[in-house]
């Protein structure tokens, strides 16, 4: 049971970790633009099954988001 998505033509393709594809070894909490892509508009973290990240990078993203939130680089929640 892998992570798959369907293309416009109906073909099944495997999701790939974006960070592995860009050969990013370590996720930095100061890279706010990268971290914003892994949060929803309400400020929640996007789960691994939806984002397609590998387990290693998802753990790094979680730690980096929590660190960025604690020093106020990212908000805990967005105002609606």
pLDDT on residue 54: 92
pLDDT on residue 63: 96
Cα–Cα distance, 77 to 74 (Å, whole number): 9
pLDDT on residue 9: 80
pLDDT on residue 77: 83
Domain parsing of the chain, residue ranges = 23-75
Find, among 50, 62, 65, the residue nearest to 18 by Cα.
50
The first and second tokens of residue 67, run together, are: 């660190």
**Residues whose CB is less than 8 angstroms from the CB of residue 62 and which lie 6 or more positions away in sequence, other chains included:** 45
Sheet strands (E) in 1-80: 4-6, 12-14
| pLDDT tens over the chain, length 80 residues | 456 667 778 777 777 888 998 888 999 999 999 999 999 999 899 999 888 899 999 999 999 999 999 999 998 887 65
pLDDT on residue 80: 59
23-75 has which CATH code?
4.10.640.10
């Amino acid at each position: 049971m892998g992570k798959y998505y369907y293309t416009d033509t109906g073909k099944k393709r495997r999701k790939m970790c974006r960070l592995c594809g860009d050969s990013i070894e370590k996720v930095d909490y100061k890279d706010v633009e990268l971290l914003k892509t892994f949060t929803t508009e309400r400020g929640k973290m996007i789960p691994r099954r939806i984002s397609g990240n590998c387990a290693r990078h998802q753990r790094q993203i979680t730690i980096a988001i929590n660190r960025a939130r604690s020093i106020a680089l990212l908000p805990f929640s967005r105002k609606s």
